[in-house]
């Protein structure tokens, strides 16, 4: 099941290597809302869809998966490359860690900085949605009700920590006032 913004997923290439790694290349078509100012300069279809290549390597021996993703649509305007490496958490075999790196570049004279900043902002938003999607799919696969997102859990923990610090400060203030009167 693909998210709503993924229109098509085509497997272009897939093979198992002699060392049992699975190599895949996919072509994805995604919705791509261009900024309003850019829509004037782009053909109608190009303003609404983006074509993405994704290479993946699944290594069962080392229990890793690596994905390399890059855009082919608008690549002369802005290039976005992403690498994700998924590994088993060394402290808990039931957890997966992800290392995500991205490179956003533009060589459009005079506008490259603005285009890169736009790309970075959009990338950050996209990553947040992707992680929420991962958490939702994983919880559904495990037959659970989707739990709180990592961000919600972190926010709740920060709130509790702040409340505990506030209570500690009250206690210290109270103790200091008592010492003044003694």
Q: 19-23, 31-35, 68-72: lowest mean pLDDT where? A: 31-35
pLDDT at 38 over 70: no
Domain ranges of the chain: 6-147, 149-182
* Alpha-carbon distances, residue 12 vs 25, 53, 54, 55 (angstroms): 5, 9, 10, 10
Beta bridge partners of 100: 84
Q: Is the dihedral of CA 85, 55, 10, 23 positive or negative?
A: negative
Q: 31-35, 53-57, 93-97, 162-166: lowest mean pLDDT where? A: 31-35
pLDDT of amino acid 1: 47
CA–CA gap between residue 63 and residue 74 (Å, rounded)? 35
Condensed to tens digits (0 to 9), the pLDDT of residues 42-60 reads 666 555 778 999 999 999 9
Whole-number percent of the chain with pLDDT over 70: 79
Condensed to tens digits (0 to 9), the pLDDT of residues 59-97 reads 999 999 999 999 998 888 888 999 999 999 999 988 889
**Mean pLDDT of all residues in the chain?**
81
Q: Residue 153 is encoded by which pair of tokens?
A: 């859990």
Q: Is the dihedral of CA 16, 17, 22, 26 positive or negative?
A: negative
pLDDT at 144 over 80: no
């Amino acid at each position: 099941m693909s998210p709503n913004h993924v229109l098509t997923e085509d497997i272009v290439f897939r093979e198992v290597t002699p060392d049992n790694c699975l190599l895949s290349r996919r072509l994805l078509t995604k919705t791509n809302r261009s900024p309003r100012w850019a829509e004037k300069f782009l053909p109608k279809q190009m303003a609404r869809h983006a074509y993405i290549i994704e290479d993946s390597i699944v290594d069962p021996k080392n229990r890793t998966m690596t994905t390399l993703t890059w855009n082919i649509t608008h690549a002369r305007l802005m290039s976005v490359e992403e690498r994700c490496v998924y590994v088993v958490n060394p402290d808990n075999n039931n957890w997966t860690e992800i290392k995500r790196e991205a490179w956003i570049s533009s060589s459009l004279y005079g506008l490259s900085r603005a285009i890169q900043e736009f790309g970075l902002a959009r990338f950050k938003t996209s990553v947040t949605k992707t992680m929420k999607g991962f958490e939702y799919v994983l919880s559904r696969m495990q037959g659970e009700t989707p739990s709180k997102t990592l961000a919600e859990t972190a926010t709740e923990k920060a709130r509790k920590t702040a409340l505990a610090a506030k209570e500690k400060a009250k206690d210290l203030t109270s103790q200091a006032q008592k010492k003044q009167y003694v």
